[in-house]
Copies of this chain bind each other. A is one copy, B any other.
Amino acid sequence: MTTPRYTPLAASLPATVPFVGPETQERGRGAPFAARLGANENVFGPSPDAIAAMQEATGDCWMYGDPENHDLRHALAARHRVDAGNIVIGEGIDGLLGYLVRLTVGPGDAVVTSDGAYPTFNYHVAGFGGSLHKVPYREDRENPAALFAKAAETDARLVYLANPDNPMGSWWTGAEIVAAMAALPDGCLLVLDEAYVECAPDGTAVDLPADDPRLIRFRTFSKAYGMAGARVGYGIAAPGLVTAFNKVRNHFGVNRVAQAGALAALADDGWLSHVRGEIAAARDRIGAIARDNGLVALPSATNFVTIDCGRDGAFARAVLAGLADRGIFARMPFAQPQDRCIRISCGRSGDLDAFAAALPDALEQAHNQAQG
């Protein structure tokens, strides 16, 4: 008998990872990237108040963080005009998605998502033995009606919908999603990933009572708040579901310094407005760079812009490789036909200057490869 003995499920899982980090690519190429525009991070960074709060809190890091995340949970509840009992905080949305899938999905249970949507959600579903059913995008948007119909057809436990969407940057209004939810089948929880919603037009967030048992909304400090490395995400849901997380979560898992930083970030609305403006300007600039190269930038309600390279996935992959050769870290959608695109995170002027300088050569290289 070999040691250790894995569960049959664990033994069956592939050793793949949802994403390769840019640091891995940098080690492979032997040089750092000139512009880090691939992970939808927010290069404009956290509020200076949040940085100051974290710097001050480092001296306190000999203490475990509050396992109830009390202060942050209450501040978030006040912000969203819900009860603290409607808020669960975890190690990023990624961590919370893992806990949610663990609570609700066993071997063979059906789950629905869009083909090409967030791979980390799929990783968790596979990791707990769920059976994943995928619905295609429609006109580069997730398709709520088709998702909910597939959920009914498969008796799904969960249906995942990111709004705004990653990787396409597209979105629905909150009202459109609420209307579509009339077809959400009984017993199926809507996992509404609103990671990018602070970058989106007003009205994009769903406006429903927090106690509505049909959905859980996920938010994060990783995107508009500029704290991806801090690992603080949260869910807004009915109290029963929030309490259920306490059965399985790593109670002391949220970094104490990060809790202090998130609390300060949440209080600095001025910085959030500033960042929104920077993001909007960077989106425009990325759109202009695309047009200058004969490409089409898709509309975006996020902190990235998805650019249609106009040909197939092989061509877009070649463009991406050409950008990487020139020091630009970017990523692209995984699924056809969205993989005709590349995805560029909003950057500072210098980052986008570097992208603008690299793109023509990367495109030419990709064209030459396609003809060669």
Chain A 1-43 interface 0/1 with B at a Cβ cutoff of 8 Å (1 = within): 1111111111001110111010110010000000010010111
Judged by a CB distance under 8 angstroms, whether A91 is at the interface is yes
Which residue of B7, B51, B102, B258 is within 8 Å of A103 (Cβ)? B7
Classify the secondary structure of A's interface with B: loop
- Contact residues in B for A248 (Cβ distance below 8 Å): 10, 13, 127
Best-buried of A10, A188, A246 by chain B (most CB within 10 Å) = A10
State which of A137-145, A221-229, A320-328 sits at the interface with chain B: A221-229
- Contact residues in B for A98 (Cβ distance below 8 Å): 250
Chain A, range 80-97, C-beta contacts under 8 Å to B:
91-92, 94-95
Q: Is the CB of B4 within 8 A of A103?
A: yes
Closest B residue by C-beta to A45: B62
Minimum C-beta distance from A316 to chain B (A): 23
Minimum C-beta distance from A177 to chain B (A): 16
Known contacts: A62-B228, A250-B94. The answer to whether A187 contacts B258 by CB under 8 A is no
Judged by a CB distance under 8 angstroms, whether A157 is at the interface is yes
| Number of residues of chain A lying within 8 A (CB) of chain B | 86
Copies in the complex: 2
Judged by a CB distance under 8 angstroms, whether A253 is at the interface is yes
Minimum C-beta distance from A353 to chain B (A): 19
- Contact residues in B for A4 (Cβ distance below 8 Å): 103-104, 157-158, 187, 189, 213, 241
Known: A5-B189, A55-B55, A231-B254. 19 other contacts (CB 8 A): A4-B241, A6-B104, A10-B244, A13-B248, A15-B247, A21-B67, A23-B66, A41-B64, A46-B61, A51-B59, A55-B58, A61-B261, A63-B228, A64-B222, A65-B229, A91-B91, A91-B250, A91-B253, A127-B248
A interface, CB within 8 angstroms of B: 1-10, 13-15, 17-19, 21, 23-24, 27, 36, 39, 41-46, 51, 54-55, 58-68, 70, 91-92, 94-95, 98, 102-106, 109, 127, 157-158, 186-189, 213-214, 222, 226-231, 241, 243-244, 246-248, 250-258, 261
